[in-house]
Structure 1
Amino acid sequence: MADKKIMLVCNAGMSTSLLVSKMQKAAEADGLDADIFATASSDADNKIESEHPDILMLGPQVRYLLKSYQSKLDIPVEVINMQDYGLMNGDKVLKHALSVLDSEAAK
């Protein structure tokens, strides 16, 4: 079982799939065992229920879902930085997710 489970959500689940592969490469390079996956916003609730992610990362195009997910989930919910998303900077997005998880664990 992976140390961290990171779920990305976007409109159709397509634009985040490249970001997922870049995040997985960054995780492997850091020696981190992470389960990183993407889904469409229309299927996000089902995936949350079946996969139990540690953190939910929203693509900038679905940032309007932030408050809704924050109010109904007991895991961190973050919007991916638009520049990092646009540049498909998997390393930065991964590091942000991990820093949020680390700060949650320290509480």
Structure 2
Amino acid sequence: MTKILLVCAAGMSTSLLVNKMQDHAKVIGEEIEIFALPISECSSVADKVDVVLLGPQVRYQKSQVEAIVPNHVPIEVINMRDYGTMNGKAVLERAFVLLNKS
């Protein structure tokens, strides 16, 4: 099963986005585990995820996340517009693109 980690500050708005992404995954028939954690907890799951997406509010911590997550795992900052509009479909589809690149 594909596992997607969203890295956030506190997790409030990112949890909403996780729900929207899970809703889209159900619509397209994909079985995916999506969860959000603050950067302080990333190391506990870093070796168990397939892609990491950072909320725009923590983009400045990307290098910190890259130091924690294995090199083969794609890491990207979520598009600010998609994050702001809670466009779970667009964010999930971008995660799929990143997974196909690796």
C-alpha separation between the residues in 1 aligned to 2:39 and 2:67? 16
C-alpha separation between the residues in 2 aligned to 1:41 and 1:77? 13
What displacement does 1:67 show?
2.1
Q: How does 1:27-66 map to 2 (within 5 A)?
A: 27-49=25-47, 52-66=48-62
The equivalent residue for 1:89 is 87
RMSD: 1.3
Task: Report the TM-score when normalising by structure 2.
Answer: 0.90
Structure 1: gaps (5+ residues): none
What displacement does 1:66 show?
1.3
Moved over 3 A (4+): none
2:64 to 64, 68, 93: 68
Contact 2:8 2:58 in 1 (8 A): yes
Q: Tell me which amino acid in the other structure corresponds to 1:40.
A: P
C-alpha separation between the residues in 1 aligned to 2:80 and 2:65? 19
Aligned sequence identity (%): 47
- Given the superposition, is the C-alpha separation of residues 69 and 42 from structure 1 closer, same or farther in structure 2, using an over 3 Å criterion? closer
What displacement does 1:45 show?
1.7
Q: SS of 1:42's equivalent?
A: helix
Size of the alignment, in residue pairs?
Answer: 100
Task: Report the TM-score when normalising by structure 1.
Answer: 0.86
The equivalent residue for 2:97 is 99
